[in-house]
Chain A
Amino acid sequence: AQSVAQPEDQVNVAEGNPLTVKCTYSVSGNPYLFWYVQYPNRGLQFLLKYITGDNLVKGSYGFEAEFNKSQTSFHLKKPSALVSDSALYFCAVRDGAGTYKYIFGTGTRLKVLA
């Protein structure tokens, strides 16, 4: 069965500084990896995905993520954080060789300080 771990409940970063939100995964087949963002009292919005190809994927709002197969990681990054990036971020995985279960992590709250 696939699983996702987000080891940090909260990440604090100063505005203008680079940010990283960590995610590791476990699947038996090919990993399909995703990041979603949730703003207060809203549903989740898609940020980016890795299915195949380049290990560095770029997404919405200047976010990017790097797929690292050897470390089974898919960390979310942004070169310069904005206060408006403050939100709850979820990593998700689907086993590309398995069922259509999209499994989410526990979420990381990002707080960008002005």
Chain B
Amino acid sequence: NAGVTQTPKFQVLKTGQSMTLQCAQDMNHEYMSWYRQDPGMGLRLIHYSVGAGITDQGEVPNGYNVSRSTTEDFPLRLLSAAPSQTSVYFCAIRGTTTNEKLFFGSGTQLSVL
């Protein structure tokens, strides 16, 4: 998966709990993003970052926070998990040399009870 590491692979939370999904890359790519995948909804962009210190909202940002303090890491934070956030989460990266091609991590399957 082109050096994109997502942890954990699986997580079960109770409503109201907080957690951080990790995305790390060793490709020195400036662009990182988070998607969620739900049946019938496809992939929806949550947040993205074009470089350290720069983040922006995607299509479905509510309930999620991000920060980008380093080039390598782009964590996704759920401050108070809700059942509607049950989903599979993918991190995707892109570099200036990849000509618009996104590389995806293997995903985190999150269940909120």
Decide yes or no: A32 and B104 within 8 Å by CB, A100-B50, A101-B48 being known contacts: no
- A101 engages B58 (CB within 8 Å): yes
Residues in B neighbouring A105, C-beta threshold 8 A:
42
Total A residues in contact with B, Cβ cutoff 8 Å = 23
The contact size tier of chain B is 20 to 34
For the complex, is A111 an interface residue (Cβ under 8 Å from B)? no
- Which of B12-20, B33-41, B63-71, B74-82 lies at the interface with chain A? B33-41
- A90 engages B105 (CB within 8 Å): no
Beyond A43-B104, A94-B100, 19 extra complex contacts between A and B, CB < 8 Å: A6-B42, A34-B100, A34-B101, A36-B102, A42-B106, A43-B105, A44-B102, A44-B104, A46-B101, A90-B43, A100-B31, A100-B56, A101-B59, A103-B45, A104-B43, A105-B42, A106-B40, A107-B42, A107-B43
Chain B residues proximal to chain A, CB less than 8 Å: 1, 4, 31, 33, 35, 40-45, 48, 50, 56, 58-59, 90, 92, 99-107
